[in-house]
Structure 1
Amino acid sequence: MTTVTLPPGPSLPRSAQGAVVLAARSQGLRRMRARYGDAFTVNVPIFGRTVVISDPDEVKQLFTASTDLVENVRPNLGRLLGPGSLFALTGEEHREQRRLLVPPFHGRRLAAYEKTIEDETVRETATWPEDRAFATLPSMRRITLNAILRAVFGADGAELAELRELLPPWVASGSRLAVLPIPRTDLGRWSPWGRLRLARRRYDAIAGRLIDEAAEGDPGERDDVLALLLRSRHTDGSPMSRAQIADHLLTLLVAGHETTATTLAWAIERLRRHPAILRDLAEEADAGGGALREAAITEVQRTRPVIDVVGRHVIADGYRLGRWTLPRGCTVLVAVALMHEDEALFPHPRAFDPARFLGEQPDLYRWVPFGGGRRRCLGAAFAAMEMNVVLRTVLRRFTLLPTAEPGERRHSRGVAGAPARGGLAVVRRRSPAAG
């Protein structure tokens, strides 16, 4: 029998540990790291016995481990997004579906989406007020939602208008419920889970109409994601099922706008508190450059990661992870924020310093806002391009006024964390010649 060795951790009852995590996850994890070191064990509702790690060597080992040893954390967003979602799939089925979903979000296809994102940014920011504070997060959500809707489905239409209405409240509610138990009794519209199920049925009806419409035409004449999925084939030559396509599309829509929008709101929040960097970014945008802008976005993701933990579930007996031997069923969480705040990995970690990423790509086992390994965010390249285009467009069209106010606190939205005041901005429009 394999001897289990776990990191130290608090001895409080599971309910008490869960209350700490729910009430103040970031602060609680920091306190435990200060007391127990870069690995510790907690016992919390839903996940049970959980090992939290932030050593980059152990993180790399976890992310590159065989799927015979570890799989996606349980429970996960697959409960909300459907059994065909990449979050729900495991093993060979996950690898096969991921292979089919990679092409739309890599290579030359990314460039085709830039004009769409710029157009959506121009359209949305035309409504921005001047010389008074407003939250940018709602605008960023509309930009990124409209952009991913157009990338996924191509043209606009009545169904996309329905999805614009349906998805934002669904995402907000789902983010809060994602790690809570599903009640045995379905109370319909009288419970949050019931309302999610009703919204999912409405989504399925809309997606079904859009899939039928695309299939009735010639998918080969379209270059949107839906058409590409209809044309894709498994290794045995069979097409995706309609249910698989619907689940994949929902996953792309949900994952493809909320975290990107929140990072953009954090970017506004950070840059307004660093006027010298903001000035250099505006000058670079006017000159047609982008290196500092890309580095600044990378630094925003380091200092304000939207998703602060990512996890795996041990499915083997006696999985050896660095210094520890973990039992079957154990959850392992990578503490993203703790890694990004580690002085040994990022000198002066609390300083906002884009220069640390100028001219070099971040180490993907130390800088992990997109997760890592086989389950690294499929749309990471799309998200990076989208944030770059949105921020470039804003800098060219507006003067973003700096502030001496304290930084905005992190507000937990369940799975994600957003600036508590929505990424407040004060802007002035620039003349066309200046932009």
Structure 2
Amino acid sequence: MTTTVLPPGPSVPRAVQGAYALTVPGRGVRQMRERYGDAFSVNVPIFGHALVLANPAEVKQLFLARSDAVENIRPNLGRVLGPGSFFALVGEAHREQRKLLVPPFHGRRLAAFERIVEDEAARELASWPRDREFATLPSMMRITLNAILRAVFGARGAELDRLRRLLPTMVTLGSRLASVPLPRTTLGPWGWFRRMRRRYDEVVDRLITAASRDDRLDDRDDVLALLVQSRHDDGSPLGRDRIADQLLTLLSAGHETTATTLAWAVERIRRHPDVLRGLVEEVDAGGRALRDATLLEVQRTRPVIDLVGRMVTAESFELGRWTLPRGHKVLVGISLLHGDDSLFPNAAAFDPNRFLDAKPDLYEWIPFGGGTRRCIGAAFATMEMDVVLRTLLRDFHLDPTDERDERWHLRGVANAPGRGGRAVVRRRDRTTRPAPPTPTGPRAANT
């Protein structure tokens, strides 16, 4: 019989630990890291007993583990996205779907998607107010939503408008339901979500029907067109429910998180005038190295998802120093890794230069998770962030500021800037391109 070996952790009741996690997000796990080290045990609602991990070697071992030893943590977002979503699928079904959906987010299709993102970004940014402060997060949400509806759903016309109206509320409610231990019922929030899901399924069903009758389906770049043409190994088509679940998964995984990272990017670079000045000079020269490094550093210092989880499916699993029993959960502390001075010297500082000459290790820098369950839309999200930030820097002056850092605000699943990534912008004169103004506002220490 294998002996379970787990690290120490707080001994207070599960409800107390859960309340602490919700009311002290981020800071709570850092305090436990200081007390217990780079691995500790917790007992929280939804997940129960879990190992929280922040040791890079053990994280790498976890991400590279076979699927018959560990699988995606349960419950997960599959409880709101549907049984056909990536989050719910395991084993061969997950591998089959992943193999199917990797190609659309690379190569020719990704280049086509870039034009869609730039079009949506230019249209939305043109509506920004001038010379007064406003929150950028709502705009970033609209840009990423519209880009995904066009690139992934292939939606246009009336169906596009219906999804634009329906999905923001549906996704927000779903992300909150996924992160709280509410029972699934036909009443209250779950009832509202199910009614919205039925309306969503009706729209997607019409999109699938239209695609299946499209004589030019082979020429389309959107993901829905690919899914309609796809076949299982036995030649059977994907079920409509499976397609609807996967489209919703791609939307949920790439919409709010990408928009939130962009809002954090605005919040960060406004508080670092030297970085902002360098980014403007670079975009005018047609470069992108500093912009790439800046987005990497934004995701390191302000990860929008704080934890990524796995669950032991073998009888027992040896994970570095620990021996875990079947059913035990493992939560990788993303912010703990990203804030580790031994991995990122002076980790509290926002310094894009650290990534100018060195790409991050994908078992230490993990905003997209890792292993076989790494976010399949990572390349698409990275492209989106680059295009939107490039368009913003090209077309607008972004005023720097000495105001205090915006606090973290948990929006169900994503950690967003508490004031929405506020900005003050002015339209750029593309002929003179003057330097950004000096910072204004009360001076404060920034990290």
The TM-score bracket by the shorter chain reads over 0.9
| Matched-pair contact (CA < 8 Å) for 1:9–1:36 | yes
- 1:329 corresponds to which residue? 327
- 1:270 corresponds to which residue? 268
**Secondary structure at the residue paired with 2:332?**
strand
| Matched-pair contact (CA < 8 Å) for 2:155–2:207 | no
Structure 2 CA distance, aligned partners of 1:330 and 1:154?
A: 40
Superposed counterparts of 1:29-68, under 5 Å: 29-68=29-68
| Matched-pair contact (CA < 8 Å) for 1:121–1:143 | yes
Once the two structures are TM-superposed, the CA of residue 179 in structure 1 deviates from its matched residue by 2.8
Superposed counterparts of 1:198-209, under 5 Å: 198-209=195-206
Distance 1:9 1:424, change over 3 A: same
Structure 2 CA distance, aligned partners of 1:259 and 1:371?
A: 13
Structure 2 CA distance, aligned partners of 1:108 and 1:2?
A: 51
**Secondary structure at the residue paired with 1:366?**
coil
- 1:178 corresponds to which residue? 178
1:16 paired with 2:16, answer yes
Name which of 336, 341, 353 aligns with 2:351.
353
Structure 2 CA distance, aligned partners of 1:184 and 1:28?
A: 28
Deviations 1:383-422 (A, max 9, x none): 0011000000000000100000010000011211000000
1:308 paired with 2:306, answer yes
Superposed counterparts of 1:247-396, under 5 Å: 247-396=245-394
Structure 2 CA distance, aligned partners of 1:38 and 1:202?
A: 45
Once the two structures are TM-superposed, the CA of residue 434 in structure 1 deviates from its matched residue by 4.9
TM-score by length of 2: 0.95
Moved more, 48-57 or 250-259: 250-259
Structure 2 CA distance, aligned partners of 1:371 and 1:389?
A: 22
- 1:112 corresponds to which residue? 112
Once the two structures are TM-superposed, the CA of residue 180 in structure 1 deviates from its matched residue by 2.5
Q: Which amino acid aligns with 1:344?
A: S
Unaligned runs of 5+ in 2: 434-447
- 2:212 corresponds to which residue? 215
| Matched-pair contact (CA < 8 Å) for 1:167–1:254 | no
Structure 2 CA distance, aligned partners of 1:430 and 1:423?
A: 20
Structure 1 CA distance, aligned partners of 2:244 and 2:176?
A: 23
| Matched-pair contact (CA < 8 Å) for 1:62–1:321 | yes
Q: Which amino acid aligns with 1:179?
A: S
Q: Which amino acid aligns with 2:47?
A: F
Superposed counterparts of 1:19-168, under 5 Å: 19-154=19-154, 156-168=156-168
Moved more, 178-187 or 141-150: 178-187
Structure 2 CA distance, aligned partners of 1:402 and 1:163?
A: 36
- 1:195 corresponds to which residue? 192
Structure 1 CA distance, aligned partners of 2:279 and 2:179?
A: 39
Deviations 1:205-235 (A, max 9, x none): 0000010011111321322111111112223
Structure 1 CA distance, aligned partners of 2:319 and 2:235?
A: 38
- 2:239 corresponds to which residue? 241
Moved more, 226-235 or 122-131: 226-235
Once the two structures are TM-superposed, the CA of residue 155 in structure 1 deviates from its matched residue by 5.2
Distance 1:55 1:83, change over 3 A: same
Structure 2 CA distance, aligned partners of 1:366 and 1:256?
A: 21
Distance 1:238 1:359, change over 3 A: farther
How many residue pairs match? The answer is 432
Unaligned runs of 5+ in 1: none
Structure 1 CA distance, aligned partners of 2:185 and 2:131?
A: 51
Once the two structures are TM-superposed, the CA of residue 157 in structure 1 deviates from its matched residue by 1.1
TM-score by length of 1: 0.97
Q: Which amino acid aligns with 1:417?
A: N
Once the two structures are TM-superposed, the CA of residue 123 in structure 1 deviates from its matched residue by 0.5
Structure 2 CA distance, aligned partners of 1:378 and 1:115?
A: 20
> Aligned-residue CA RMSD in angstroms?
1.1
Structure 1 CA distance, aligned partners of 2:154 and 2:412?
A: 31
Identity across the alignment (%):
68
- 1:429 corresponds to which residue? 427
| Matched-pair contact (CA < 8 Å) for 2:69–2:312 | yes
**Secondary structure at the residue paired with 2:122?**
helix
Deviations 1:307-358 (A, max 9, x none): 0100001111121000000111111000000000000000000111111111
Structure 2 CA distance, aligned partners of 1:15 and 1:281?
A: 46
Structure 2 CA distance, aligned partners of 1:77 and 1:87?
A: 6
Deviations 1:156-194 (A, max 9, x none): 21111111111111111111110323425422xxx1111
| Matched-pair contact (CA < 8 Å) for 2:118–2:388 | yes
Moved more, 413-422 or 265-274: 413-422
| Matched-pair contact (CA < 8 Å) for 1:292–1:354 | yes
